[in-house]
Structure 1
Amino acid sequence: MSHDPTSDDASANDGLRVQRDARPMARSPLMSGAGADDGSRGAARALWVGRVMMVLLTLVFLLLLVRVGQLQTSPAEPVAKRLDTQTSRHTLHGRRGAILDRRGRVIASSRVAYRLFVDPQLIVDRNTFSEYVGYTLDYDPAWVEMTLHQRHGSRYIVLDERLSDERLAALADFKLPGLAVEPVLVRDYPKQMRAGHLVGFVGVDGHGLEGIERQFDERLRPRPGRMQYLRDARRQPLWVTADAYQPHEDGQPVRLSIDITIQEIAEKQLAETIEKYQAEAGQIVVMHPRTGEILALAHAPSFSPARFRDSSGDDRRNRAVTDVFEPGSIFKPMIWAAMTQMGAASIDEKIDCTTSGVYRSPRGRRLRDSRPLGELTWEEVLMNSSNIGMAIVAQRIGNEKLHDIVRAFGFGATTDSGLSGEVVGLVNPLRQWNHYSETSIPMGQEIGVTALQIVRAFAVFGNDGLLVRPTVEAVDPDDAAFNPIQQRVLLPSVARHTRHVLRRAVEEGTGRHAKSDLYAIWGKTGTAQLPDLVHGGYQQGQYVASFMAGAPLDEPELIVGCFIQKPDRSIGYYGGLVAGPPVKRVIEESLLYLNVSPDAEAHRRQAAYDAEARP
């Protein structure tokens, strides 16, 4: 076989090439340095990218915080509407303050009750709903159906403003779509009609409308709180922030000067008197002579603050401070005492009140007494309530001094009691007084007073000559700042002497129907015609029968005034007959309740006083 050297060489070269290719390629120092530099640059790039991302994330987070703040403080209107659906706001209602009597007994208070209402759109079976509710909860099914029909289209129809305990218990196991209850604050008057004219009532908004409820509304009214929280998509509460919660404040209590037991005594006696004499209306006022505290303020007809809508405005009027009347003879003690202090007449002076019972003044005016009294001492003028004797002495001092007396006893101005609707009465300016005034004023005519005004004036005799401001708030005996005294009207000796003369008026004079076997009552009767406001003059056969009294004699604790409007004349209308007995019983029962010992020595002390020298 011939050999081709060319072929062999080629094969040898191919093998050598294969071997050369199979050896590992050596790295030069220059090639190793270039690879390390590439790695460093990659790490630096990654670090830079990380920092950029961190800055970007920080900026995004800051932008989110700014956006959240903007959404919370001033979101756009579409966003605000959306946010409102995720926020709940609740008003936290406090309780109105309680009204208490002077011993802390509750007269008015607030509590949580439950209101029954219907959402007609949630009713499943309208045909049976009314029957089911009516028979289960003891309502008239026809009434339920009519109530729903009258409020057609409404989603909130109240069936019962205040559920009874029995109905509320029945609802516990009674589930009916469309029927629900909600808690509401209601005002309770546990004493019902007791002191209704004084206490007053509140409206549906919880604000006081009349009486004490109105007078002390600012103090009694609670301060509502608030709470706001966010809800999730399922309407469940998420959280409440501290600045979104404000607690409510309950109203403050008011403690009255009224003693509910004495109030009950006065109301009972007044109601019996009104019924006995078939009178139109009446009031009894009981006051402490030294502090001015009103212990009872009774009215007839009466009303219940819990059902004030069932009564008329006339029935609810606090006539003791709103109605003005001519006082008649109960006005005489104030004029008599002041003229005694002035020296217009001496105690034992004899005054000719005529044996005919008729007197003609120097200016030609004719005056009459209820009966001929003849010659009387100045004390007997008051004891027997002589119009003639009062007029004769009043003409000695004239109109100017008479006017000063009237104003000094507080007439022609409010008593500053603060009671709603109080009026100033009627005292004409001095320039309008004439010779008729000179003889009319001393016997309680030509002047208009309220029941509270005349009781306060009469209390001057029980307070040694000091006029006090009546108050319906209980007095704290430890309060050094409390001072009810408004001014001195009489000297203490004159005030005490007048008390003893008024004591004789009950024992021997016109007030004999108020004579008590328990206490030394001193007082004055009054029978005044009612003025005719349409035609002038007086209404024929229409009177106000009054009696004013205090007790005990030495240290008076009570001043009581009774005023009966329009008693049936055929039964009786004189003040001593009509108003004297209820005043006596109010004084006796109230003083026994107050643990004032019966006055067994009253007659002896009165006799001893009569034997002493008079001021």
Structure 2
Amino acid sequence: MHRKLKIRSMVIGLFFTLLFLGLVSRMYYVQIVEASMLLEKAERLWADEDILPAKRGSILDRKGKVFAEDGVAFTVAVNPKIIADKGKDIPNFANEISQGLALILGPNAGVDTSKLEKQIYAMTTKLKQNGKDLAIEVEVNPEGWKIDGEIKLKIDELAISIREKYDLKKNSNIGLYTKEVIKRYYPLNSLASQVLGYVNKAGDPVGGIESSLDEILKGLPGKLNHEKDTSGVEIPDSKVSYTPAVMGNNVRLTIDQNIQYYTETAIQKAMDLYHPKSMTAIVVNPKTMEILAMANAPTFNPNRYWEAEQQDYKNLSISDAHEPGSTFKLVTLAGAVQENLFNPNDTYQSGSIRVPGSRPLHDHNYVGWGPITYMRGLLYSSNVAFVKLGYEKLGVDRLKAYINNFGFGSKTNIDLPNEVAGTIGQMKYDSEQATATYGQGQVVVTAIQQIAAYAAIANGGKLMWPHVVKDIEDSKTNEIIKKFEPKIIKQAVTAATAKQTSLYLEQVVADQEYGTGKKAYMNGYRIAGKTGTASVVDPGKNTYKTDSWLISFIGYAPVEDPQILIAIIADEPDLGGDYHQGSFVWAPVFRDIMTPSLRNMGITSNTVDAKTVSETPIKTIPDLSQTTLTAAKNLLNQTGLTPEVFGNGAKIIKQFPLAGTEISMSRPVYVTTEAKITTVPDFTGKSLRDSIEICALLDLQCKVSGEGYVTKQVVTGTGAQRSVKFELHPLSEPTPEVNEDSVESQDASPNASPEETTESD
């Protein structure tokens, strides 16, 4: 017995000895061998890192006005632990908070309130990752993310009403609160939204400048590293490191907020009246191709981007390609002028033309206007005239070359995302070559390509790089970090060709009897432009619609020194099946953009000085048609206007400007009293604008050299071939001696070089 106890004691002693030795060994191993590794592991568990968001740079207009900036917002959060504690004394406390939040956040976010209530209830009862303890903070995501101050006030009122209902202390924590955060804010709402893009609630940039220049705008986030225990309490005297955030840089655009506003307001009026599928308008400085405005409708509000339809985000100016129609005739015209193939006095048979392997190609009115001059064909926008110029005279190789010269078929590389290149087909067949001359079939282009091509004519033949970013500036010092200068891509045509073509386009507007662009006429300014009415493909039918068109107009001013160029496109407006009504869509838009933009840019009338323009009353011209000359003079005298009469008849045959046009009292009203004016009037001392208007009224072809006022004129030809050559000089410049024989010889040559003379109807 004694021996057994002794053995048992030894065994127990040995066990505890071994146990002690094991504990000592383990303690040595943990504290000595694994100490550094375990300490590192503990520090990782204690470590807590807060990301300090960087303030995003602002997006500004060309004058420094804000388009987009970071501002204060609020995020809604709930504390499930506190809500559960309150719920011990207040039945359905979590339900009440969930229901109240859903009623506020649901309508604001555009979601179903009952569905949102269930989602918020799940947040108010959410557990930690361990699956046992209730969470101490849950953000109401995404409906409660980055709400504005107005919604925050409603949340605060909800919390107050709950405290009052259950007689809780005024400042008691009920587990519902808001946190101040940073949000991207667009103070002008939808203005320029498709150019700007937006930043979503998660902080991700989507589309536009926000996306393409994100690296410049976003800056670098900072960090705050410190140590907390498992309960989330900061450990005293723990290691703390701080890396400050670096603010992003500002981006200044070429866009002018005022012109952008004029543009968006104008196209929205047309949208409301004519209900097209969409509208696009671009305004540029043709000399630099700086974008002054770029607008599309429908549009969206980046502050509430989730409410928009998917197509509303699309910048149609650069991402929508279409058959342009007659605005594309610019390429054919400029090419023909450059190659000395366009003689405005030559005649052709309008109406229809047949090319090999094709049905007859028609003018837009199908029957034409009989034998007419090419200049009249341009004014009428005759398809047949351009088939003859582009297909028969230029030929497919040269036509393709000029299409390429003007940048079609390639991206412009504008500094915005999602640009498409359009397509220029191979034009294998004669019919494809013929229809391309007037912008149908194988020609598919974007609005930005078209306005760049017209800018080349306005600026002296240079195809420029279009851009919306003017410079990058330091957000703290406002110093310019990088500037984006205008770039010449190529010389599309010579300066002389561009000038001559520009004068022809001016006639499209100035000729108030035949010009398709006559509704773009503006008192006191020389306007050049071209209309377009393109047939639209009927999806799935491989044919064109018969009652819908794409309507467009591209024009610029002042012709003598172009400062502003506008392109307008309306996709299938409601014209009641009559394409002739197209000008009622684009003309008011053009005027509503051009008129205030010229004022905004300080560009005054070219006929009188700025003081006279501002002080001279504006009058509306009465209808003088078929009235006697005496009656017409009386009508004009009653409005304070003065007539300038051509002819010796007793009744008014034609007038310019047309009835209803508003002009200043300083300008004359031109009238004719004979169907054919046989005597060419004396133009000496008249401005180029006045001379061109009179030529249009009298059906005279005119050619121009110089700038300023007419100092000499030479008449050549008879009948339909009659033309007059003007030589212009500034009033302060002495008139040089002119060799009349050489001038007449130059006029008589149908192939005169563009460098030698400029022409206009």
The structure 2 residue matched to 1:587, chosen from 581, 594, 602, is 594
Give the aligned partner of residue 439 of structure 1.
Answer: 434
1:240–1:539 Cα change, 3 Å = farther
Q: 1:415 aligns with which of 407, 412, 431?
A: 412
Deviation at 1:598, TM superposition (A): 2.3
1:576 to 1:205, Cα distance in 2 relative to 1, 3 A: same
**SS of corresponding position for 1:586:** helix
1:537 matched to 2:543? The reply is yes
What is the match of residue 521 of structure 2?
515
> Aligned in 2, Cα 1:557/1:572: closer, same or farther, shift over 3 Å?
farther
Alignment partner of 1:467 is 2:428: no
1:94 to 1:399, Cα distance in 2 relative to 1, 3 A = same
CA contact (8 A) 2:254 2:292 kept: yes
Greater per-residue helix proportion: 1
Alignment of 1:568 with 2:574, yes or no, is yes
Equivalent residue, structure 1, for 2:403? 406
Separation in 2 of the partners of 1:478 and 1:145? 49
Q: Does 1:75 align with 2:65?
A: no
**1:468 Cα deviation after fit:** 0.3
Match of 2:126 in 1: 153
- Number of the residue aligned with 1:9: none
SS at 2:444 equivalent: coil
Q: CA deviation at 1:167?
A: 4.5
The residue type equivalent to 1:160 in the other structure is G
Name the aligned partner's letter for residue 204 of structure 2. Answer: H
- Counterpart of 2:185 in structure 1 is 188
1:386 and 2:386 aligned: no
Alignment length (residue pairs): 540
Higher-Rg member (1/2): 1
Q: Deviations over 1:83-131 (max 9, x none)?
A: 3454332211111111111111111111232212112222123324554
Secondary structure of the structure 1 residue equivalent to 2:555: strand
Compared with structure 1, are the counterparts of its residues 512 and 386 closer, same or farther at alpha carbon in structure 2 (3 Å cutoff)?
A: same
State the Cα distance separating 1:245 from its structure 2 match. Answer: 2.3
Shift of 1:237: 5.5
SS of aligned partner of 2:423: coil
Q: Per-residue displacement from partner, 1:471-497 (whole Å, max 9, x unpaired)?
A: 011269999982421111111121112
Mapped to 2, the partners of 1:130 and 1:284 lie a distance apart of 51
Q: TM-score, normalised by structure 1?
A: 0.81
1:507 counterpart letter in structure 2: A
Cα shift at 1:295: 0.8
Q: Which residue of 2 aligns with 1:59?
A: none
- Structure-2 residue corresponding to 1:296: 293
Q: How big is the shift at 1:359?
A: 2.5
> In the superposition, relative to structure 1, how do residues 108 and 163 fare at CA in structure 2: closer, same or farther (>3 Å)?
closer
State the Cα distance separating 1:271 from its structure 2 match: 0.7
Find the counterpart in structure 2 of residue 253 from structure 1: 250
SS at match of 2:403: helix
Equivalent AA in structure 2 for residue 499 of structure 1:
S
Gap regions ≥5 residues in structure 2: 1-30, 107-112, 128-134, 161-169, 473-479, 609-666, 668-685, 693-703, 705-723, 727-746, 748-756
Asked whether the 8 Å contact 2:471–2:484 carries over to 1, the reply is: no
**Aligned partners of 2:101 and 2:117 also within 8 Å:** no
Gaps of 5+ in 1: 1-66
Return the alpha-carbon distance in structure 2 between the equivalents of residues 428 and 194 of structure 1: 36
Q: How far is the alpha carbon of 1:605 from its aligned partner? A: 1.6
Structure 1 contact 133–139 (Cα < 8 Å) conserved: no
- Contact 1:207-1:217 within 8 A present in 2 as well: no
Query: Residue type of the partner of 2:126?
Result: G
**Displacement of 1:327:** 0.6
Q: 1:68 to 1:89 in 2, by over 3 A?
A: farther
CA contact (8 A) 1:567 1:573 kept: no
Deviates more, 1:290-299 or 1:108-117: 108-117
Aligned counterparts of 2:316 and 2:484: Cα–Cα separation in 1:
31
Q: Secondary structure at the match of 2:318?
A: helix
Residue 125 of structure 1 is matched in structure 2 by 86
Q: Provide the rounded CA distance (Å) in 1 between the counterparts of 2:238 and 2:327.
A: 67
The Cα of 1:241 is off from its aligned counterpart by 5.8
Q: Counterparts in 2 of 1:24-35, with a 5 A limit?
A: none
Partner SS state of residue 524, structure 1: strand
Question: How do 1:595-606 and structure 2 match up within 5 A?
Answer: 595-600=602-607, 604-606=687-689
User: 1:234, 1:107 → 2: CA distance?
Assistant: 41
TM-superposed deviation, 1:569: 2.8
Please, which moves more after superposition, 365-374 or 539-548? 365-374
For 1:278, the aligned partner's letter is H
- The match for 1:321 among 318, 321, 341 is 318
Q: 1:494 aligned to 2:497?
A: yes
Q: Residues 95-174 of structure 1: matches in 2 within 5 Å?
A: 95-123=55-83, 124-126=85-87, 127-128=92-93, 131=96, 139=104, 146-151=118-123, 152-153=125-126, 155=135, 156-158=138-140, 160-161=144-145, 162-164=147-149, 166-167=153-154, 174=171
Supply the distance in 2 between the matched residues of 1:195 and 1:108 (Cα, whole angstroms): 10
Write the distance in 2 (CA, Å) between the matches of 1:453 and 1:339: 20
Q: Using the aligned pairs only, state the percent identity.
A: 27
Q: 1:545 and 1:136, CA in 2 relative to 1: closer, same or farther beyond 3 A?
A: closer
The 8 Å contact of residues 98 and 120 in structure 2, kept in 1 or not, is answered as no
Q: Could you give the per-residue CA deviations for residues 243-264 of structure 1, whole angstroms, max 9, x where no partner exists?
A: x322111111111111111111
Quote the offset at 1:203 in angstroms: 2.8
1:527-578, CA deviations, whole angstroms, 9 ceiling, x for partnerless residues? 0011134221212312101011001111111110110011113175444332
Deviations 1:113-155 (A, max 9, x none): 2212112222123324554787799849986854433445354
CA distance in 2, matches of 1:443, 1:585: 28
| Counterpart AA for 2:393 | R
Task: Look up the equivalent residue of 1:454 and give its one-letter code.
Answer: Q
**What are the superposed Cα offsets for residues 464-522 of structure 1, whole Å, 9 maximum, x if unpaired?**
11000100112699999824211111111211121111111012100111111142211
1:365 shift after superposition: 4.2
Q: Deviations over 1:433-492 (max 9, x none)?
A: 221123111111120001111111111111111000100112699999824211111111
State the secondary structure of the residue aligned to 2:265. helix
- The separation in 1 between residues aligned to 2:103 and 2:536, in whole angstroms, is 51
Contact 1:211–1:419 (CA under 8 A) maintained in structure 2: yes
How far apart are the structure 1 equivalents of 2:34 and 2:246?
33
**In the superposition, relative to structure 1, how do residues 120 and 231 fare at CA in structure 2: closer, same or farther (>3 Å)?**
closer
Distance 1:589 1:518, change over 3 A: farther
Equivalent-residue separation in structure 1 for 2:600 and 2:481 (angstroms): 23
Q: Does the 8 Å CA contact 2:82/2:173 hold for their aligned counterparts?
A: no
* Greater mean alpha carbon deviation, residues 358-367 or residues 166-175: 166-175
TM-fit CA distance, 1:69: 13
Higher RCO by CA contacts (8 Å cutoff, separation 6 or greater): 1
- The equivalent of 1:270 in structure 2 is 267
Q: In structure 1, what is the equivalent of residue 531 of structure 2?
A: 525
